[in-house]
Amino acid sequence: MSAIPFRPRRLRQSAAMRALVSQTRLHAAQLVLPVFVIEGEESRPISSMPGVLQHSLDSLRRAATQAAEAGISGLMIFGVPEHRDATGTGATDPNGILNRATAAVVQEVGDAVVISTDLCLDEFTDHGHCGVLDGEGRVDNDATLVRYAEMALAQAEAGSVLLGLSGMMDGQVAHVREALDEAGRTDVALLAYSAKYASAFYGPFREAVDSQLQGDRRAYQLDPANAREGLLEAALDVEEGADIVMVKPALPYLDVLRQVAESSPVPVWAYQVSGEYAMLEAAAANGWIAREAAIMESVTSIVRAGADAVLTYWAMELAEWTRR
C-alpha cells in the first residue's frame, strides 16, 4: 500500500487527544439563563418546555442563586403579568412583576450574575404585539419608542444592568441610549436583538409568557429568507450604540450568526429559543436521540459559528456538564 501523506485520524484516537486539540470549548461563563416570572406564590411548569418553569419570586431567587453558584454569567428575566392593556403600562410600573422581580434578584445575587431584562411590550399588551398600535391596528414604530425609553428607565431603576431590546423597532437602540444617557444612566448596557427573525420556533415561548398575540409579527421581525437584512440590522444597532448584538433564533440562522460575528466590532450573542429546546426534548423523550450529546452538540455549533455567549434554557445542565 502506498504511503498516506495525511492521517488526520491520529488526532482523534483517544478522548484525551480529542480534548487536547478541540477547537471550540464551552464553559459556564458563556451562558445566559432565560427565566420567566409570574405573580403569585406558586411556580408553574410550562408544558411545551419540559423542565422549565414560570417562576414565583421565591423560586426565581433560588434559581438566581443556583445560577451564580454554577458559574453562569447571566440571567435574562421575562415578566408575565396578570393584567394587560393596550400600551403595556405594567412594563413601566415599579411594582409590576418584571421590575419587582429584577429588584429581588439583584438583592439576592448582587453583581455575581449579570442581571438583564427583556425590554419589549409583548408580554404586557392585551394584543400581544411588541409595540403600541395605531388606529388601523398596526404597530406604531415611533410611539413605541417612547414606551421603550420609559421601560428602559424603569428597568434601570429596578437594577437591571443589561437591557435586552427585543422589539425590532427602527431606531430603538439610539432612542433608548439617549434616554438613559440623559438620565445619567450611562452605566446601563444595551443588548440589541439585531437579527431577530419572524420564526416558527417561538411557539413554546408564547405559552411561557401567556402571549395574547393576535396576528403575526412579520411587519417588524425579519423575513427568514433574508440574511443580508440581518447584517444590516446589526450594523445599524452598533452605529446607534449597542454594546452587544444578537441573532435569534440560533440553530436555523447559523449562517447569519457567522456573518454577523465576522463583521461585528462588539460581542455577538445568540438565543437558542424555545422551539429549539422543545424539539430536542421531545426527540429525546421518544428515544430518538441521545439527549445530552444532542444538547452539547447544538450549543457547541452555536459557539463554533461565532457566538460569544448563548442564551439557552439548558444553561444549568450545560454548566455542570462542562465541568467534567
What integer pLDDT is reported at residue 324 of this predicted model?
A: 84
Confidence check: pLDDT of 1 > 80: no
In this prediction, residue 160 has a pLDDT band, given cuts at 50, 70 and 90, of very high
Model confidence pLDDT, tens digit, residues 54-74: 999 999 999 999 999 999 999
Q: What is the mean pLDDT of residues 6-29?
A: 95
Cis check: omega of the bond before 249, within 30 degrees of 0: yes
Confidence check: pLDDT of 182 > 90: yes
Domain ranges across the chain: 27-321
Model confidence pLDDT, tens digit, residues 268-281: 999 999 999 999 99
Q: What is the mean pLDDT of residues 202-218?
A: 91
Confidence check: pLDDT of 2 > 80: no
Q: What is the mean pLDDT of residues 243-264?
A: 98
The set of catalytic residues is 196, 248
Considering the entire predicted model, what is its pTM?
0.96
Using DSSP bridges, classify how beta strands 31-38 and 268-271 pair: parallel, antiparallel or unpaired.
unpaired
Q: What is the mean pLDDT of residues 185-209?
A: 96
Asked if 103 and 161 touch (Cβ cutoff 8 Å), the reply is: no
Alpha carbon 269 to chain centroid, angstroms? 8
Q: What is the mean pLDDT of residues 92-100?
A: 98
Q: What is the mean pLDDT of residues 279-291?
A: 98
**One-letter amino acid of 277:** Y
Residue 246: CB atoms within 10 A of its CB come to 28
CA distance 88 to 131: 8
CATH of 27-321, one of 3.40.50.300, 3.40.50.2020, 1.10.630.10, 3.20.20.70: 3.20.20.70
Confidence check: pLDDT of 242 > 90: yes
